[in-house]
Amino acid sequence: MALVNPHGKEKKLKPLLLTGAALEEEKKKAKSLNQVRISSRETGDLIMMGIGGFTPLTGFMTRADWEGVCKKFTMADGTFWPIPITVSTTKGQADTLKVGEEVALVSEENGELMATMKITEKYELSAKDKEFECQSIYKTTDMEHPGVAMVMKQAEVNLAGPVKVLSQGAFPREYPGIYLTPAESRKLFEEKGWSTVAAFQTRNPMHRSHEYLTKIAIETCDGVFIHMLLGKLKPGDIPSDTRQKAIDTLIEKYFVKDTVLVGGYPLDMRYAGPREALLHALFRQNYGCSHLIIGRDHAGVGDYYGPFDAQKIFDEIPAGALETKPLKIDWTFYCTKCDGMASMKTCPHGKEDRLILSGTKLRKMLSEGTEVPDHFSRPEVLEILRAYYAGLTEKVEIKTHKYSEGA
């Protein structure tokens, strides 16, 4: 059996990253172009287009694409897409740029030249438009939501057009052997003889519940791809180097050899819950994964989404929109009476017998120096995380929400 096809009508990876002579020529040309500075989120999106993770996108979205994605999950050409992929600039700068002009896209964080783009459209997003996007994608306009804050703080004008990507940023250098392109992950899966691969999305070190979810997947698929987010997180989340160390230790001590592959991808978290779950499935299809593990509160934050909204949304999209299917797993926990990990489908016991596990609760306990209950996380993982928290000079308050408390 073959791996799932990349997303889109052509069913072929479409990486937009230039190499060799074409790259050098484009870099030279870029020096004479007007510069548009792009945010960390926009840079991550651009790199994903560069490596083929956002196949079949050829650039940043038009107004018709933006509106179609917000309203009905489809771009103007009918391609299924769950979250707008846009780049913005100030009205002042937009007024100086012409449709048809090529511009250089430069990271606002370090000034690195990331891409060139041919502007095919400029369109202003009013405060009302941004609220519409937030309500459609995040189900709220509350500025406390990190994704909403990101959208509302964007500059006023979106630029649309095809891009030529010139860099993958620091990711290949900072995460050698972990940061993978879709072509690389597909090659590794094929070398292992895997055709059914379940992706496990994580922005946290893995606790016992995460371990249990991935082991369920290993029982039903050829292998599991633990796919870590390497981009920006919200304050209080654990950085990727610590997370990687904790995950590597867990795999070494508690998983059968060659059943798991660990990789990383360059996006920032949007915390878009159900919509982000769809995006996670879409780009995992490009990476070669047949399934995406969807547990409780996938890509959620606070109490903005129901605990299983990210599972339900897969039943609401058009049939055949994605080849990658959700592996829906119920609420999982440690049960003292079962004397092991269980889920709502397998455990007949009461709430008082269950230890509800969540990344938020674990971070809160570790950051406050309180004792972590037995069976919450593996001792070797806790040792790594305690060392990380002990080295912090500035503490961030971690807020729990009702789902992390097991309500």
pLDDT tens-digit series, residues 317-341: 999 999 999 999 998 999 999 999 9
How far apart are the C-alpha atoms of 12 and 288, rounded to whole Å?
11
How far apart are the C-alpha atoms of 289 and 181, rounded to whole Å?
13
For residue 120, give the CATH number of its domain.
3.10.400.10
Range of the domain at 234: 174-265+271-390
Query: For residue 29, is pLDDT > 80?
Result: yes
pLDDT score for 400? 54
Structure tokens at 51: 């490596």
Same domain, 51 and 196: no
The per-residue DSSP string of 134-177 comes to HHHHHS---TTSHHHHHHHTS-SEEEEEEEEE---TTHHHHSTT
- Torsion, Cα of 110, 114, 116, 120 (10° steps): -90
User: At 405, is the pLDDT very low, low, confident or very high (cuts 50, 70, 90)?
Assistant: very low
Query: For residue 39, is pLDDT > 70?
Result: yes
Query: For residue 3, is pLDDT > 70?
Result: yes
Mean pLDDT of the chain: 93
Facing residues of 294 across strands? 328
* Number of folded domains that form the chain: 2
Residues contacting 9, CB < 8 A, separation 6+: 56, 79
Which residues participate in catalysis according to the annotation?
A: 203-204
Same domain, 161 and 65: yes
Q: Give φ, ψ of 108 to 5 degrees.
A: -75, -15
Domain-terminating residue out of 169, 199, 231: 169
pLDDT tens-digit readout, 64-89: 999 999 999 999 999 999 999 999 99
Q: Are 217 and 152 in contact (CB under 8 A)?
A: no
For residue 189, give the CATH number of its domain.
3.40.50.620
pLDDT tens-digit readout, 98-157: 999 999 999 999 999 999 999 999 999 999 999 999 999 999 999 999 999 999 999 999
pLDDT score for 19? 98
- Residue range 298-312: mean pLDDT, rounded: 94
Q: 198: part of which helix (H) or strand (E)?
A: strand 197-202
Query: For residue 398, is pLDDT > 60?
Result: no
Same domain, 280 and 294: yes
pLDDT score for 365? 87
User: Is residue 397 situated within a structural domain?
Assistant: no
How far apart are the C-alpha atoms of 290 and 68, rounded to whole Å?
26
- pTM here is 0.93
Whether the ω angle into residue 56 lies within 30 degrees of 0, i.e. cis, is yes
How far apart are the C-alpha atoms of 165 and 117, rounded to whole Å?
9
User: Is residue 215 situated within a structural domain?
Assistant: yes
